[in-house]
Amino acid sequence: MNKEDFVKEITNIDENFAQWYTDIVRKAELADYTETKGCIAIRPYGYAIWENIQNYADKLFKESGVKNTYFPVLIPESLLQKEKDHVEGFAPEVAWVTEAGGEKLEEKLCIRPTSETIFTTMYSKWLKSWRDLPFVYNQWCSVLRWEKETRPFLRSREFLWQEGHTIHETEKEAKERTLKMLDIYSDIVENFLAIPVIKGIKTETERFAGAVETYTIEAMTYDGKALQSGTSHYFGQNFTKPFDVKFQNREGKQEYAYQTSWGISTRLIGAIIMAHGDNRGLKLPPKVAPIQVVIVPVAMHKEGVKEKAEELYNSLKDKFRMEIDLRDNVSPGFKFNDWEMKGVPIRIEIGPRDIENGVCVLVRRDTQEKITVKLDEVDKEIDNLLVEIHNNMFETCKKRMNAKTTIAHNLDEFKANMDKEQGFIKAMWCGSSECEAKIKELTAAKSRCIPFEQEKVGDTCVCCGKKADKMVIWGRQY
Amino acid sequence: MNKEDFVKEITNIDENFAQWYTDIVRKAELADYTETKGCIAIRPYGYAIWENIQNYADKLFKESGVKNTYFPVLIPESLLQKEKDHVEGFAPEVAWVTEAGGEKLEEKLCIRPTSETIFTTMYSKWLKSWRDLPFVYNQWCSVLRWEKETRPFLRSREFLWQEGHTIHETEKEAKERTLKMLDIYSDIVENFLAIPVIKGIKTETERFAGAVETYTIEAMTYDGKALQSGTSHYFGQNFTKPFDVKFQNREGKQEYAYQTSWGISTRLIGAIIMAHGDNRGLKLPPKVAPIQVVIVPVAMHKEGVKEKAEELYNSLKDKFRMEIDLRDNVSPGFKFNDWEMKGVPIRIEIGPRDIENGVCVLVRRDTQEKITVKLDEVDKEIDNLLVEIHNNMFETCKKRMNAKTTIAHNLDEFKANMDKEQGFIKAMWCGSSECEAKIKELTAAKSRCIPFEQEKVGDTCVCCGKKADKMVIWGRQY
């Protein structure tokens, strides 16, 4: 297979972005479809990305006082029904176990779509006094939501995530935890995955079922769609009252605890693909890349080439996540394309001429730039380059997000902007759900969030024209 | 609550071991029962033990070439039925999803009891050539088996585990992987959890459903029962044939791959409790203990005590997993008992007199020994002590296992030994399933394994008296 054929295997990103996405997921061996409809198998290369995200996130969680736990995958129907809004939101998309151990169950059990109900039930048993608080618990697990349309990583029926569930003595402390987690999430997405996000608060329509407030970080894909990348919810006492999570407060009185929950998921892998990828394939940010540097020897049959490449590999492998490609049944050209498709940030080419000159060539995945480097300076050069690649990838996304963000003052402008180029629209909003619904109906764009960083782009609602003081970010979503 | 009352809260280990076990699980806050019958919630202290096991194991796995993945939790009924022995073994204890997304499913889906069927299905899609082999994949996940009688950690309907599934080019390589994993498992249990094990091969009756051979490591509990602590299976082509996992071999011919699978689970937490615990509570081996050292200041109200304790804590916290107990609503005596119950290997007591003398007191959880140490030597002393505690805990278990292992030459001796004291029995076996069944019926003991380290304890089968050349370890099980 030559270079051209190789690239042709992937659908053009500007012609059919959805198909391009699926091609990358499968050709880069991140995941594959399974016999279980709507569920994927995450392959080693995809799972290694998730492990890196987990390690980075889990460290930040623990530093902030989070403790890991594990709660049952099955939730009795009666528990799910205790909080009215919650069951309305989730019941339509759950999967039910009705038979087990050869018998029909007396009460059916759902596979958790999220675990507020079961955490809150256990908290009601464990909590006695203000001295026990806070409970800042998390679990890394899978959840199931029976989606009609699925897409690998972005919307799978089963997906991996972490779900944090906390209870606190005071409203203030619970709200601080809600925002603290949003900060951690934006740290993960921006500083680890090199994807800029907008932080804000969801409108009532877009709020999590049962929450008082839902906070979100919103990213933008290559094709200008919005990708909700992490959410953090403040529940007040919405669950602790029906679930009877009480404690003796400092004044000796019984009080209901204040609650939060928050989650990020394998959807972030989808975000990485959609924010950074190009026509050559996947493009992985250096910090999360399972392989940061791959060595491809050129003219490997020539004396000393393989040995020198291996020597280089051994000198670098304790410092970077390395791979060396010694396959003897494909050409260097094939290998170059293969590793570009897999998104490895830096490729090292080394051949007989390079060895003679005591150099090798570093090729950046993000810019395709080739840099000739002395062998005894490779180490330091890679260090710098990985940082530079991260920064460049972040800036590229940021520029795109800015370029694809426009302002609209009325519905005509809104539609015109969206028709011209799919992206974010900043517009004032009066606060009514009717206006939100109308905008969605006319433009297929939903409110993404009321961003923390407000900007006065007008005085009147983009939809109804009434007085408005909230600037909202709107966009079509994945 | 004084010391006496505290200890009374735990059932005496020699009077009712089963109740003692449940007390420890709940009082040490390792886990609790949930509204989902037969399923537990693993609390932070219990989960931290599991995380430490995971980290240790995962590192060994990866060093040996294992790659992590994630496969769907739901398996279609038709896949489960492809391998005859396998479905017979597992179908009676699976849980079935029959409704989802508001509709009855056309084909019911089981929650994985183990994932041979779905891994093998995907392998059949991915495998083309000998060049692709081996696939050495693993997943950390939960599985569900609808047990009639459950016990936290030891036999929960849902439990956490890792399941490795590998396919290979040759029988030899697959068999090597099977044994390699058994070695890793015994490394984990002996060197990390300080529990001695016996390595061996299961009899046909005790073999995993669908396997050619099952290898096992068997530990012994405080009360002399056997605890299967890890298993590794060689499947030959039993699954790859019905699932059509073929590859083009080096001769250009189609061949079925050779397969293995292997697993350890949160049952190991049960093993830790049952092998090491005593009447004071849990006793954690230092390497797996979430808290290795706890500092309890004495006379904390006296000037400078709290400050000195905190100073000590800060000087040690980067080197050991530390806790400092500054609760002001309970006495030091209560704290001593509390941390002993939680099994923390070393307690540091520090009071005004100690501070004056520039010392503190280290108390070993395993021997109760008190050691006065100079403050500037605490660091080194703890280092040594943790090693010593590990070794002492291992040796204590080893001695007990030896003391509770007897030899039997005939059924009368077998019964007499078992009646005298529950433990392991070494006895010769002719190889027939009938003899195994009869022994089980008469003594409630099952064959644990045919140990690798054979010993000629006779010439004739302990049951039928016919010629026998296999020495088998027998025991009652949890």
Residues of A with Cβ-Cβ distance to B111 under 8 angstroms: 73, 97, 111
Burial A122-159 (b: 16+ CB within 10 A, else e): bbbeebeebeebbbbbbbbbbbbbbeeebbbbbbbbbb
Residues of B with Cβ-Cβ distance to A58 under 8 angstroms: none
Question: For residue B304, what are the CA distances in angstroms to B298, B311, B327, B419?
Answer: 11, 10, 16, 59
Mean pLDDT value across residues B204-219: 96
Question: How many Cβ atoms are within 10 Å of A412's Cβ, its own excluded?
Answer: 10
Q: Do A72 and B158 touch (CB under 8 A)?
A: yes
On whether the CB atoms of residues A121 and B74 are closer than 8 A, the answer is no
Question: How many Cβ atoms are within 10 Å of B458's Cβ, its own excluded?
Answer: 16
In this complex, which of A34, A96, A147 lies closest to B72 when CB atoms are compared?
A34
A372's tokens: 């000739």
Tell me how many residue pairs between chain A and chain B have CB atoms under 8 A apart: 166
In this complex, which of B69, B109, B144 lies closest to A36 when CB atoms are compared?
B109
Please give the share of chain B, as a percent, with pLDDT higher than 90.
Answer: 95
CATH T-level topology, domain B3-276 = BirA Bifunctional Protein; domain 2 (3.30.930)
Please check the confidence at residue B90 and state whether its pLDDT lies above 70: yes
Please check the confidence at residue B87 and state whether its pLDDT lies above 90: no
Which pLDDT does position A7 carry in this prediction? Answer: 53
Q: Do B158 and A74 touch (CB under 8 A)?
A: yes
Work out the pLDDT band at A478, boundaries 50, 70, 90.
confident
Work out the pLDDT band at B8, boundaries 50, 70, 90.
low
Architecture of domain A293-388: 3-Layer(aba) Sandwich (3.40)
Q: Do B43 and A148 touch (CB under 8 A)?
A: no
Please check the confidence at residue B74 and state whether its pLDDT lies above 50: yes
Taking the CA of residue A98 and the nearest CA in chain B, the distance in Å comes to 6
Q: Do A44 and B69 touch (CB under 8 A)?
A: yes
Work out the pLDDT band at B397, boundaries 50, 70, 90.
very high
Closest residue of chain A to B79, computed from CA coordinates: A35
Please check the confidence at residue B193 and state whether its pLDDT lies above 90: yes
Dump pLDDT digits (tens) for A77-93: 999 988 888 888 888 89
Question: For residue B450, what are the CA distances in angstroms to A164, A224, B215, B407, B430?
Answer: 46, 63, 9, 14, 12
Please give the share of chain A, as a percent, with pLDDT higher than 90.
Answer: 95
Please check the confidence at residue B4 and state whether its pLDDT lies above 70: no
DSSP for A156-200?
A: -SEEEEEEEEEEESSHHHHHHHHHHHHHHHHHIIIIIT----EEE
Work out the pLDDT band at B7, boundaries 50, 70, 90.
low
Taking the CA of residue B163 and the nearest CA in chain A, the distance in Å comes to 14
Work out the pLDDT band at A173, boundaries 50, 70, 90.
very high
Q: State residue A106 phi and psi, 5-degree precision.
A: -70, -45
A11 contacts: CB under 8 Å, gap ≥ 6:
A19, A20, A23
Q: Tell me whether strands A470-475 and A424-429 are parallel, antiparallel or unpaired.
A: antiparallel
Q: State residue A385 phi and psi, 5-degree precision.
A: -65, -40
Please check the confidence at residue A196 and state whether its pLDDT lies above 80: yes
How many Å apart are CA A336 and CA A332, to the nearest integer? 6
Work out the pLDDT band at A1, boundaries 50, 70, 90.
very low
Mean pLDDT value across residues B107-114: 96
Mean pLDDT value across residues A20-28: 96
The answer to whether the bond into B297 is cis (omega within 30° of 0) is no
In this complex, which of A36, A98, A122 lies closest to B98 when CB atoms are compared?
A98
Mean pLDDT value across residues B342-346: 98
Please check the confidence at residue B292 and state whether its pLDDT lies above 70: yes
Which residue in A33, A97, A147, A327 has the most chain B C-beta atoms within 10 A of its own C-beta, making it the best mutation to test that interface? A97
Please check the confidence at residue B440 and state whether its pLDDT lies above 50: yes
Which residue in B53, B58, B69, B121 has the most chain A C-beta atoms within 10 A of its own C-beta, making it the best mutation to test that interface? B69
How many Å apart are CA A4 and CA A24, to the nearest integer? 17
Taking the CA of residue B93 and the nearest CA in chain A, the distance in Å comes to 4
In this complex, which of B35, B47, B72 lies closest to A39 when CB atoms are compared?
B72
Residue with tokens 């669908």: B210
Annotated domain spans of chain A:
16-276, 293-388, 405-475
Q: Do B41 and A122 touch (CB under 8 A)?
A: yes
Mean pLDDT of chain B: 96
How many Å apart are CA B237 and CA B259, to the nearest integer? 7
Please check the confidence at residue A134 and state whether its pLDDT lies above 90: yes
**ipTM given for this complex:** 0.96
B251's tokens: 């001769």
Work out the pLDDT band at A8, boundaries 50, 70, 90.
low
Work out the pLDDT band at B478, boundaries 50, 70, 90.
confident
Residues of B with Cβ-Cβ distance to A141 under 8 angstroms: 142
Taking the CA of residue A72 and the nearest CA in chain B, the distance in Å comes to 6
Work out the pLDDT band at B1, boundaries 50, 70, 90.
very low
Residues of B with Cβ-Cβ distance to A48 under 8 angstroms: 67-68
3-state secondary structure A313-325: HHHHCCCCCEEEC
A50's tokens: 């998730």
On whether the CB atoms of residues A444 and A478 are closer than 8 A, the answer is no
A322, β-bridge pairs: A293
How many Å apart are CA A450 and CA A202, to the nearest integer? 6
Dump pLDDT digits (tens) for A273-297: 999 999 999 999 999 999 999 999 9
Residues of A with Cβ-Cβ distance to B43 under 8 angstroms: 69
Q: Do A67 and B51 touch (CB under 8 A)?
A: no
Q: Do B47 and A36 touch (CB under 8 A)?
A: no
Dump pLDDT digits (tens) for A320-343: 999 999 999 999 999 999 999 999
CA angle centred on A347, ends A330 and A190, rounded to 5°: 130
Question: For residue B131, what are the CA distances in angstroms to A2, A48, A151, A338, B236?
Answer: 20, 22, 30, 16, 19
Q: Do A72 and B34 touch (CB under 8 A)?
A: yes
Mean pLDDT value across residues A134-154: 96
Which pLDDT does position B84 carry in this prediction? Answer: 82
Superfamily holding A405-475: C-terminal domain of ProRS (3.30.110.30)
Mean pLDDT value across residues A196-203: 98
Specify the DSSP element, H or E, that contains A305: helix A305-316
Mean pLDDT value across residues A22-38: 96
Which residue in A26, A36, A163 has the most chain B C-beta atoms within 10 A of its own C-beta, making it the best mutation to test that interface? A36
Which pLDDT does position B6 carry in this prediction? Answer: 54
Work out the pLDDT band at B107, boundaries 50, 70, 90.
very high
Helix and strand numbers, DSSP H then E, in chain A: 14, 23
> Domain A16-276's class?
alpha beta
Residues of B with Cβ-Cβ distance to A92 under 8 angstroms: 101-102
Please check the confidence at residue B80 and state whether its pLDDT lies above 70: yes
Mean pLDDT of chain A: 96
Q: Do B95 and A100 touch (CB under 8 A)?
A: yes
Mean pLDDT value across residues A369-394: 98
